[in-house]
């Protein structure tokens, strides 16, 4: 008992020193906090170093960027509750809209402040399957074949999973000619093929890649590439379906926070530089599709295959403001999928 | 606990005491408990009250919420029962036998306290998954642990064990061996010694351990989420529903579920306290 208490004490002491050390080290003229979602870790690690260099050269000011990663919705909530983020780079427009509505810390016009709806990079949803694709999964319809197990996180808790769901919906909508009852039937069937609903995208990746559960993982394109890099390309194949969804992860300056901290200039430059040739190339290297592909050398773009991409502003969804409550709100379409076992 | 000692004192507000400082310490206690416990709890009730009774009832009577509550309380109850049996056994071994490495085992019991629960959940999921160390042995037998309600119980047993061991252990140390020897000389066999002499003395401590392990398990999120599978109506726990509501920025709905859990937990702890008070009166000694 005493031994154990002492070791806990040491652990806490070491952790505290590390924290302290890190923040002491991080001290600089300007510090920006970028609150982001899970799969952008690698992207912003590289981008932050590049921007710090660029900003030093341009303004002579040293800037340090601190990163916070987590589920997109959780991160938005942290900003609403008072996390002093200078910029947010989240997975969904609706998460930034939630900050606008619940806290007013971001001005309403944020989506028009930067090009391409304030999405400097985009991604899409692809299939990651076991090597050789033993179940022959090529398109969305194959996901509901007998004996196929699909791994996706819960759309209620994961931004990425919402894109998965919407991509499936878009496919079913064109497959069934807009017959909503049939589309719902397909979506329900799809989620009956899901044995584990993780709360976040990284959790699902672990379930699929490490626990070896399921035949296909619905994943962000960048996440699928990362899994190949991490676990070795000999274990998995990436299958690009003929049609998917254009996921636009948006960025915004948190107006109230930068004005309070006096960091507006640096924060705005930080997001604007994402659209520069260097920013776009870093995005491409980290498997995000650059919004301005003309700034990126052709060989960096070769890894992104062509496919038909439906956007959230397509009439079948009518934008996030409409799609979010209709599909994922309390009692929405997704909630109707799951019925008590007895009535099934 | 507090309620029972009050009832034994016959509802007198202040018993004369030879120790000074009653007013000061009581004042501090009340202020402290208000700050640490009552204000946050009041916040939950206050947030929920914004829903109105109908809104609250819509959530409370929702089938999915009810099923999640059943799963949470059911698995917690089973896990606490398992912990009572095996936790008491562990305490017995640690108190009654001296063997090399005993102190290390003693310290290891506390590890579930110290380990971040998410780490525990990931480790357990890795071990019990169909391709994990234990999971691959069970899979041919058709037993699935990870990503089923059984997995939830496994995680809750893990995090609850120290609560039982640490509450039973000190009481067990206090039991005089002479009592057992006296029982033996009076003709009790070993079973009777255990059931009539030792267990009644331990019962209040075991109940406390049960209550703590149970209460801890009901609110557990971090470790369960990685091993449960989280399928609605099958393996979705109530704390996950709270998180889902929060993801929708529905603070009121989240606190409503929290309030229901709070009331249920309080009712169960209250019943356990009553049983404890009864057993103390019945056997005359206890914690």
Closest of B133, B181, B130, B125 to residue B154, by C-alpha = B125
For the ranges A62-66, A317-321, B46-50, the lowest mean pLDDT is seen at B46-50
Q: Are A300 and A283 in contact (CB under 8 A)?
A: no
User: Which of B67, B107, B114 faces A1 most closely, judged by CB atoms?
Assistant: B107
Find chain A residues with C-beta within 8 A of B112's C-beta: none
Strand, coil or helix: what is A92?
Answer: coil
Inter-chain residue contact A213 with B230, CB threshold 8 Å:
no
CB contact, 8 Å: B71 with chain A? no
User: Which of B111, B232, B253 faces A330 most closely, judged by CB atoms?
Assistant: B253
Which positions ≥6 away from A63 have C-beta within 8 Å?
A28, A29, A30, A31, A32, A51, A52, A55, A56, A266, A270
Q: Are A34 and A69 in contact (CB under 8 A)?
A: no
Q: In terms of CATH, what superfamily is A122-247+306-343?
A: Periplasmic binding protein-like II (3.40.190.10)
Predicted confidence at residue A342, as pLDDT, reads: 47
pLDDT digits (tens, 9 = 90+) for B64-115: 999 999 999 999 999 999 999 999 999 999 999 999 999 999 999 999 988 8
Instruction: Tell me how far apart the alpha carbons of residues A162 and A91 are, in angstroms, rounded to a whole number.
Output: 10
Find chain A residues with C-beta within 8 A of B224's C-beta: none
Predicted confidence at residue B276, as pLDDT, reads: 84
- Model confidence at A10, pLDDT cuts 50, 70, 90, reads low
Find chain A residues with C-beta within 8 A of B147's C-beta: 195-196, 213
Instruction: Tell me how far apart the alpha carbons of residues A111 and A253 are, in angstroms, rounded to a whole number.
Output: 10
Directed axis angle between helix A277-285 and helix A41-59, to 10°?
160
- Model confidence at B257, pLDDT cuts 50, 70, 90, reads very high
Backbone angles phi, psi at B265, to 5 degrees: -60, -45
Do A2-119+248-275 and A122-247+306-343 agree at the fold level?
yes
CB contact, 8 Å: B146 with chain A? yes
Inter-chain residue contact B126 with A203, CB threshold 8 Å:
no
Q: Are B205 and B169 in contact (CB under 8 A)?
A: no
pTM score: 0.78
- Average pLDDT for residues A220-228, to the nearest whole number? 88
Inter-chain residue contact B125 with A4, CB threshold 8 Å:
no
The residue in chain A having the minimum alpha-carbon distance to the alpha carbon of residue B62 is A331
Instruction: Tell me how far apart the alpha carbons of residues A20 and A30 are, in angstroms, rounded to a whole number.
Output: 18
Instruction: Tell me how far apart the alpha carbons of residues B10 and B4 are, in angstroms, rounded to a whole number.
Output: 10
Inter-chain residue contact B131 with A330, CB threshold 8 Å:
no
Break chain A into its structural domains and give their ranges. 2-119+248-275, 122-247+306-343
Four-residue CA torsion sign, A254, A258, A264, A267: negative
Find chain B residues with C-beta within 8 A of A157's C-beta: 243-244, 247
Share of chain B above pLDDT 70, in %: 93
Find chain A residues with C-beta within 8 A of B125's C-beta: 211
User: Which of A4, A7, A198 faces B230 most closely, judged by CB atoms?
Assistant: A198
Tokens of B135: 């999971």
Taking 90 as the threshold, does the pLDDT of residue A108 lie above it? Answer: yes
* H/E segment holding residue A44: helix A41-59
- Model confidence at A26, pLDDT cuts 50, 70, 90, reads very low
Predicted-assembly ipTM surpassing the 0.85 threshold: no
Instruction: Tell me how far apart the alpha carbons of residues A289 and A123 are, in angstroms, rounded to a whole number.
Output: 6
Q: Nearest CA of chain A to the CA of B229: how many Å?
A: 4
Look-up of token digits 């010694």: B193
Q: How high does pLDDT run on average in chain B? A: 88
Q: Nearest CA of chain A to the CA of B247: how many Å?
A: 5
Inter-chain residue contact B229 with A212, CB threshold 8 Å:
no
The residue in chain A having the minimum alpha-carbon distance to the alpha carbon of residue B65 is A340
Look-up of token digits 């998965």: A164
CB contact, 8 Å: A249 with chain B? no
CB contact, 8 Å: B226 with chain A? yes
Q: Are A236 and A130 in contact (CB under 8 A)?
A: yes
Predicted confidence at residue A146, as pLDDT, reads: 93
CB contact, 8 Å: A98 with chain B? yes
The residue in chain B having the minimum alpha-carbon distance to the alpha carbon of residue A338 is B232
Helix (H), strand (E), coil (C) string for chain B: CHHHHHHHCCCCCCCCCCCCCHHHHHHHHHHHHHHHHHHHHHHHHHHHHCCHHHHHHHHHCCHHHHHHHHHHHHHHHHHHHHHHHHHHHHHHHHHHCCCCCHHHHHHHCCHHHHCCHHHHHHHHHHHHCCCCCCHHHHHHHCCCCCCCHHHHHHHHHHHHHHHHHHHHHHHHHHCCHHHHHHHHHCCCCHHHHHHHHHHHHHHHHHHHHHHHHHHHHHHCCHHHHHHCCCCCCCCCCHHHHHHHHHHCCCHHHHHHHHHHHHHHHHHHHHHHHHHHHHHHHHHCCCC
- Model confidence at B33, pLDDT cuts 50, 70, 90, reads very high
Q: What is the CA radius of gyration of chain B?
A: 22
Q: DSSP code of A2? A: H
CB contact, 8 Å: B257 with chain A? no
Q: Nearest CA of chain B to the CA of A76: how many Å?
A: 9
User: Which of B114, B234, B249 faces A8 most closely, judged by CB atoms?
Assistant: B114
Tokens of A149: 């197990």
Tokens of B55: 């809104």
Count how many pairs of residues, chain A against chain B, have C-beta atoms within 8 Å.
85
List the CATH code of the domain at A2-119+248-275.
3.40.190.10
Taking 70 as the threshold, does the pLDDT of residue B227 lie above it? Answer: yes
Beta bridge partners of A216: A129, A150
| Dihedral-angle region of residue B6 (phi above 0 means left; psi in -120 to 50 means alpha; beta otherwise) | alpha
The residue in chain A having the minimum alpha-carbon distance to the alpha carbon of residue B148 is A196
B249 vs A33, higher pLDDT = A33
* H/E segment holding residue A245: strand A243-247
Closest of A284, A183, A303, A294 to residue A240, by C-alpha = A303
Which positions ≥6 away from B270 have C-beta within 8 Å?
B3
Q: Are A50 and A286 in contact (CB under 8 A)?
A: no
Interface of B with A in 6-65 (CB under 8 A): 63-64
Q: Are A97 and A250 in contact (CB under 8 A)?
A: no
Inter-chain residue contact A196 with B103, CB threshold 8 Å:
no
pLDDT digits (tens, 9 = 90+) for B152-195: 999 999 999 999 999 999 999 988 888 888 998 998 898 998 88
Directed axis angle between helix B149-174 and helix B63-96, to 10°?
40
Helices (H) and strands (E) in chain A, counts: 15, 11
Which positions ≥6 away from B86 have C-beta within 8 Å?
B161
pLDDT digits (tens, 9 = 90+) for A289-313: 999 999 999 888 988 998 999 999 9
CB contact, 8 Å: B144 with chain A? no
Q: DSSP code of A344? A: -
Inter-chain residue contact A211 with B131, CB threshold 8 Å:
yes
Predicted confidence at residue A232, as pLDDT, reads: 77
Q: Nearest CA of chain A to the CA of B276: how many Å?
A: 27
Find chain B residues with C-beta within 8 A of A98's C-beta: 249
- Average pLDDT for residues A144-160, to the nearest whole number? 91
Give the pairing type, strands A63-68 and A30-36: parallel
Find chain A residues with C-beta within 8 A of B250's C-beta: 330
pLDDT digits (tens, 9 = 90+) for B203-225: 889 999 999 999 999 999 999 99
Find chain A residues with C-beta within 8 A of B234's C-beta: 341
Instruction: Tell me how far apart the alpha carbons of residues A278 and A47 are, in angstroms, rounded to a whole number.
Output: 9
Predicted confidence at residue A4, as pLDDT, reads: 52
């Amino acid at each position: 008992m005493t031994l154990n208490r002492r070791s806990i004490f040491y652990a806490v002491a070491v952790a505290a020193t590390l924290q302290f050390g890190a923040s002491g080290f991080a001290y600089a003229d300007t510090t920006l906090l970028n609150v982001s979602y899970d799969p952008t870790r690698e992207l912003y690690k590289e981008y932050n170093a590049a921007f710090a260099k660029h900003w030093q050269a341009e303004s002579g000011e040293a800037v340090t960027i601190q990163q916070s990663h987590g589920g997109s919705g959780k991160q938005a909530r942290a900003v609403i509750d008072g996390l002093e983020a200078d910029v947010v780079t989240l997975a969904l427009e609706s998460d930034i809209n939630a900050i606008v509505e619940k806290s007013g810390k971001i001005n309403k016009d944020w989506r028009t402040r930067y090009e391409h709806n304030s999405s400097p990079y985009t991604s899409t949803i692809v299939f990651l399957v076991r090597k050789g694709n033993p179940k022959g999964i090529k398109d969305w319809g194959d996901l509901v074949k007998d004996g196929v197990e699909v791994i996706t996180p819960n759309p209620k808790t994961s931004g990425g999973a919402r894109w998965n769901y919407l991509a499936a919906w878009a496919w079913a909508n064109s497959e069934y000619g807009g017959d909503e009852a049939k589309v719902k039937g397909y979506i329900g069937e799809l989620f009956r093929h899901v044995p584990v609903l993780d709360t976040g995208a990284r959790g699902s990746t672990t379930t699929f890649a490490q626990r070896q559960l399921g035949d296909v993982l619905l994943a962000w394109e960048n996440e699928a590439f990362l899994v190949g890099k991490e676990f070795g390309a000999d274990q998995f194949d990436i299958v690009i379906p003929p049609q998917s969804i254009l996921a636009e992860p948006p960025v915004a300056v948190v107006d109230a926070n930068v004005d309070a901290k006096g960091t507006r200039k640096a924060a705005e430059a930080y997001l604007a530089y994402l659209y520069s040739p260097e920013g776009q190339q870093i995005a491409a290297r980290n498997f995000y599709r650059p919004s301005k592909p003309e700034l990126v050398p052709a060989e960096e773009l070769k890894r992104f295959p062509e496919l038909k991409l439906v956007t959230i502003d397509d009439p079948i969804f009518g934008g996030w403001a409409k799609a979010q409550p209709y599909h994922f709100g309390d009692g929405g379409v997704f909630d109707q999928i799951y019925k008590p076992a007895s009535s099934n | 606990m507090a309620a029972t000692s009050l009832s034994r004192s016959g509802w007198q507000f202040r018993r004369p005491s030879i120790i000074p400082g009653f007013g000061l310490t009581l004042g501090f206690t009340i202020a402290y408990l208000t700050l640490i416990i009552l204000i946050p709890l009041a916040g939950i009730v206050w947030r929920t009250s914004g829903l109105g009774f109908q809104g609250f009832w819509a959530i409370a009577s929702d089938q999915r919420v009810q099923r999640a509550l059943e799963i949470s309380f059911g698995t917690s109850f089973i896990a606490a029962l398992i912990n009572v049996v095996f936790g008491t056994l562990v305490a017995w071994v640690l108190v009654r036998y001296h063997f090399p490495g005993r102190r290390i085992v003693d310290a290891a019991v506390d590890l579930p306290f110290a380990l971040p629960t998410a780490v525990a959940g990931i480790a357990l999921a890795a071990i019990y998954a169909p391709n994990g160390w234990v999971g691959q042995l069970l899979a041919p037998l058709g037993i699935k642990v990870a990503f089923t309600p059984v997995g939830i119980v496994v995680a809750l047993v893990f995090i609850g064990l120290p609560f039982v061991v640490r509450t039973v252990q000190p009481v067990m140390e206090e039991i005089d061996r002479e009592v057992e020897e006296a029982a033996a000389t009076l003709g009790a066999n070993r079973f009777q010694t255990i059931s009539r002499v030792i267990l009644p003395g331990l019962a209040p401590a075991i109940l406390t351990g049960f209550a703590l392990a149970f209460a801890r398990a009901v609110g557990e999120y971090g470790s369960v989420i990685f091993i449960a599978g989280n399928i609605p109506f099958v393996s979705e726990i109530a704390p996950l529903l709270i998180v889902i509501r929060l993801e929708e920025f529905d603070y009121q709905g989240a606190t409503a579920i929290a309030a229901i859990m709070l009331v249920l937990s309080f009712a169960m702890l209250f019943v356990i306290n009553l049983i404890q008070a009864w057993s103390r009166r019945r056997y005359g000694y206890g914690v």
